[in-house]
Structures are given as C-alpha cells and as structure tokens.
Amino acid sequence: MKTAIITGASRGIGKAIALRLSQDGFSIVVNYTQQKDQAEKVVQQIMHNGGQAIALQADVSLYPPVERLFKTTLETFGSIDVLVNNAGVSSIKPLAESDDALFDRLFNVNVKGTVHTFRQAALHLRDQGRIINLSSTAVLTATPGLGLYISAKAAVEALTKNFAKELRGRHITVNTIAPGLVRSEMFFEGKTEEQINTMAKLSHLERLGEVEEIANVVAFLTSAEASWINGQVIRVNGGTA
C-alpha cells in the first residue's frame, strides 16, 4: 500500500484530500499543528471507511518537527510515496500596514514550510513519487491586502519548477494546484454573507469551488495518468483568472 503525507489535513481542503486519497488506497498521514481533535476525527473517518491513517503533529515552519514527521511515517508505514504541501496561513492587510511579524508568519509557514518538506522528500520520497503543493489563484489576481500572502504563494510556484528539475532522474513529479475561492472553514472566517455572495460571483461559473473539486485534481496528479505532468501550476478556479 502506498503512503501519502498531507500537511494541514485536519480540516478544509487538506481533510478532503486525505479522505479522497484514502479512497484511492493510500495510507494517510494527517498532519496538523494545533487541531489535534479535528485531525483525530479525520483519522477515525478514514478508518471507519476501511482505510489506514495516523495523525501526526508537526509545525512545518520548523525543520526538526518535519524531520520527525517523515521519520515516524517511515517507521509506521515503511515508505512515503506522495507529499501534499497543503499547510498554509493567510492574512488580509495592506502592505503599508503590515509588519515584520506578519511577514515572518506568512513566509515561515507557506514558504519555509514547503522548503522543509522538500528537503525531507529529497531524502525519503520513493522514486516515481508525487509532490503536490497548494498555491492560490490570488497570485494572478493581485488582490489588495493580500500582497504578502500572494508573494509567499508565488514563491511556492517558483520552487515547484525548480525542485522538479532538481529531482531529475528519479521520476518524481512536482506540481502545484492553485485553487480559487473554495467553500471551506478558512474562507468563511471573518466574512459577512454579503461578502461571501459577492466573492462567489467572481468566477465565471458564479459559485464557490468545493473542497472535493480540489481533492479530485490532487488525486489525478497522484495517478499514473498524470505521469507526464511535471513542474506545472494548475489553476482550479472556475475561470476566475
């Protein structure tokens, strides 16, 4: 049985990815930083459906916890075949009002966290494995207030192509999915119903995406059918940008 590590998988898109890949036969590592109870519920749901899963705490912005994440995964399941870099944080604040603390928070999780898992994947991911990163359609829309978040996700997209080349010869593909606005806990936080309805109309399909629609694309990229897709950014956004 193949094994997939999904960072930030206790809720939202990460949870949907964990459930979908479990359906496809993967043993799942549900990584979380603080939401232990939610992560354990994801594990229970997977096991109830006949799958295998464990929940492992690791703050990806710090390298030692990422080392432990990969070490424990190998000790538990024997191999690592897929890495999904889903863990991320966002904030809405104009650049002129931002500070170093906000910069560090966004770049430590979104960028440094991705680099940390890349370093471990280079050591431990099985040849012919798959790495899928999560970016954002906001990279193209240049939304005011999202400058630091957009910059961090743009760095993830640049790292994707670079790391795909660094893994040359191992038949490991590295790709990024950039979702549009998706119906998830993170999206709804701090928004009024009017704001939600307005934002839902931004895509040409005039609706929010569903977390399962993002998980479906992740599942495709882990499959044999996607073996010729490498170093790419796939924007799953209903035509928003």
Chunk the chain into consecutive blocks of 10 residues (it has 241) and report each block's average pLDDT, rounded to whole numbers.
97 97 98 97 98 98 98 98 96 94 97 98 98 95 90 98 98 97 75 74 84 98 98 94 67
CA atoms within 13 A of residue 87's CA, in its CB half-sphere: 33
Q: Which residue carries 């059918």 as its tokens? A: 225
Domain 3-234 has CATH 3.40.50.720: yes
pTM for the model stands at: 0.95
Q: Are 198 and 239 in contact (CB under 8 A)?
A: no
**pLDDT number for residue 126:** 98
**pLDDT number for residue 143:** 83
**pLDDT number for residue 209:** 86
Q: In what order do the strands lie in the sheet with 53-57?
A: 53-57, 27-32, 3-6, 82-85, 130-134, 173-179, 233-236
**pLDDT number for residue 241:** 67
**pLDDT number for residue 195:** 72
The catalytic position among 149, 155, 173, 214 is 149
**pLDDT number for residue 147:** 95
What are the b/e assignments for 54-93, b being 16+ CB within 10 Å? bbbbbbbbebebbbebbeebeeebeebbbbbbbbbbbeee
**19 three-state secondary structure:** helix
How far is Cα 153 from Cα 128, in angstroms, rounded to an integer? Answer: 25
**pLDDT number for residue 13:** 97
How far is Cα 66 from Cα 215, in angstroms, rounded to an integer? Answer: 23
To the query of whether residue 63 is one of the catalytic residues in this protein, the response is no
**pLDDT number for residue 191:** 67
**pLDDT number for residue 198:** 77
**pLDDT number for residue 204:** 84
